């Protein structure tokens, strides 16, 4: 990957610039970890990778994956943040303050290791394909994704920092210049991979999962090859333990202190958890603008989603 000093830069928010690698805009502090993950990560065939664009339901899927694979220790979700149960590939494993023992703790080829990542398929596709690991990708409609990110950034900004104005956020989202963006290319990269190889890449939307959690959790259980797909009691228990209401009520997830790798506390990953919450914030004009882009990017490529 390119030398970080020579990368194209654009202003984002709060005095921070983003740098562009292969068409994606990234926070400079994340780039070394991303570059190392791309260069060094060698998944085992039975690894499970949760991939997502930020704010699309990562925390929810982390808890569901953990609960499915570790059904007998479901109560770990009471005492631990889902982010502590599944390591973040480009930060916890390959980032500058990575916990060096993560890989050696879980190096047995028989163990099911799980990681999450926001790295685009365009960067990691070959790594995934050559290893045979399974990938679960969650996405969310673009307006709720942007709305969730806008709240996330503004809730925890430092007092002295100016807010991230919503109009500016919409403009930057549409230009594809927010961290991890362009959103549309991120989603389409994983969607194409899932169409090509549905046995290895499971693609789910936040809205489907909200609408009928049990059915989609059963699909996920089947994809992961776990034996209890038809055990309704277990499925109910998993769904309940990972519900927004239950998860956000645990003390660990109400924790206000910042995580070591990011200036965000555990409770910043739980807000409203509603489909369509953007309608309370985005103007008609902003909605029309994002919808037009969604038609252009998703619908024209055959993915009728996001409006």
Looking at the DSSP assignment, which residues form a beta bridge with residue 114? 48
Taking the complex as a whole, the smallest distance from the CB of residue 77 to ligand A3P amounts, in Å, to: 10
Q: Is residue 117 a contact residue for ligand A3P (CB under 6 A)? A: no
Closer by beta carbon to ligand A3P, 126 or else 236: 236
Closest CA to 187 of 145, 131, 237, 218: 145
Nearer to ligand A3P, 188 or 242 (CB): 242
Q: Taking a C-beta distance cutoff of 8 angstroms, is the pair 167, 282 a contact?
A: no
Q: Helix crossing, 183-196 with 142-155: angle to 10°?
A: 130
The C-alpha atoms of residue 148 and residue 275 are separated, in whole angstroms, by: 11
148 forms part of the interface with ligand A3P (CB under 6 A): yes
Strand pairing of 134-139 and 48-52? Answer: parallel
Applying CB under 6 A, among 57, 95, 120, 182 the residue interacting with ligand A3P is 57
Q: Taking the complex as a whole, how short is the minimal distance between the CB of residue 115 and ligand A3P, in angstroms?
A: 15
Q: Is 269 in the site for ligand A3P (CB under 6 A)?
A: yes
Q: Which is nearer to ligand A3P, 56 or 194 (CB)?
A: 56
Q: Which of 4, 73, 211, 272 binds ligand A3P (CB under 6 A)?
A: 272
Give the range of 16-24, 25-33, 54-62, 165-173 binding ligand A3P by CB under 6 A. 54-62
Is 118 marked active-site?
yes
Indicate the helix (H) or strand (E) that contains 50. Answer: strand 48-52
CB 112 within 8 A of CB 134: no
In this structure, the dihedral spanned by the alpha carbons of residues 203, 259, 181 and 128, taken in order and rounded to 10 degrees, is: -40
In the complex, what is the shortest distance from the CB of residue 259 to ligand A3P, in angstroms, rounded to a whole number? 12
User: Can you tell me which of 36, 134, 143, 151 binds ligand A3P, judged by CB under 6 A?
Assistant: 151
Kindly tell me which of 62 and 113 has the beta carbon lying closer to ligand A3P: 62
Q: Which two tokens stand for residue 128?
A: 């995934």
What whole-number distance in Å separates Cα of residue 162 and Cα of residue 160?
A: 7
Distance, CA of 50 to CA of 224 (rounded, Å): 12
User: How many Å apart are CA 173 and CA 4, to the nearest integer?
Assistant: 23
Return the residues of window 233-252 that contact ligand A3P according to CB under 6 A. 242-244, 247
| # chain residues binding ligand A3P, by CB under 6 A | 21
CB-based contact 179:197 (threshold 8 Å)? no
Q: Which lies closer to ligand A3P via its Cβ, residue 160 or residue 257? A: 257
Does residue 271 touch ligand A3P according to CB under 6 A? yes
Q: Which stretch binds ligand A3P (CB under 6 A): 158-166, 183-191, 223-231, 264-272?
A: 264-272
Residues found in the chain: 307
Q: Toward ligand A3P, which CB reaches closer, 151 or 259?
A: 151
Contact positions with ligand A3P (CB under 6 A) in 162-221: none
Among 13, 47, 55, 116, binds ligand A3P (CB under 6 A): 55
How far apart, in Å, are the Cα atoms of 280 and each of 123, 168, 250, 288?
35, 17, 27, 15
Residues that are catalytic: 118
């Amino acid at each position: 990957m390119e030398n970080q000093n020579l990368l194209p830069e654009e202003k984002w928010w709060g005095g921070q610039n983003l740098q562009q690698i292969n068409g994606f805009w990234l926070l400079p502090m994340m780039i070394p970890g991303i570059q190392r993950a791309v260069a060094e990560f060698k998944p085992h065939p039975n690894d499970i990778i949760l991939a997502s664009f930020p704010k699309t339901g990562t925390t929810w899927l982390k808890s569901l994956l953990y609960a499915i694979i570790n059904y007998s220790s479901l109560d770990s979700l009471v005492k631990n943040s889902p982010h502590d149960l599944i390591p973040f590939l480009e930060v916890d494993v390959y980032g500058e303050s990575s916990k060096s023992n993560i890989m050696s703790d879980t190096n047995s080829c028989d163990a099911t290791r799980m990681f999450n990542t926001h790295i685009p398929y365009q960067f990691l596709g070959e790594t995934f394909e050559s290893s045979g690991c399974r990938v679960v990708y969650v996405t969310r409609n673009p307006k709720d994704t942007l709305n969730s990110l806008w709240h996330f950034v503004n809730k925890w900004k430092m007092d002295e920092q100016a807010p991230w104005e919503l109009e500016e956020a919409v403009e930057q989202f549409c230009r594809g210049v927010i961290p991890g963006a362009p959103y549309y290319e991120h989603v389409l990269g994983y969607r194409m991979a899932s169409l090509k190889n549905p046995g290895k890449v499971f693609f789910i939307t936040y809205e489907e999962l909200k609408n009928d959690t049990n059915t989609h959790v059963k699909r996920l259980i089947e994809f992961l090859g776990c034996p209890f797909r038809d055990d309704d009691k277990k499925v109910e228990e998993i769904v309940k333990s990972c519900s927004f209401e239950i998860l956000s009520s645990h003390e660990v997830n109400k924790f206000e202190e910042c995580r070591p790798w990011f200036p965000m506390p555990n409770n910043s990953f739980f807000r409203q958890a509603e489909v369509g919450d953007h309608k309370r914030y985005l103007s008609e004009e902003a909605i029309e603008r994002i919808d037009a882009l969604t038609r252009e990017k998703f619908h024209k490529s055959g993915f009728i989603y996001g409006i």
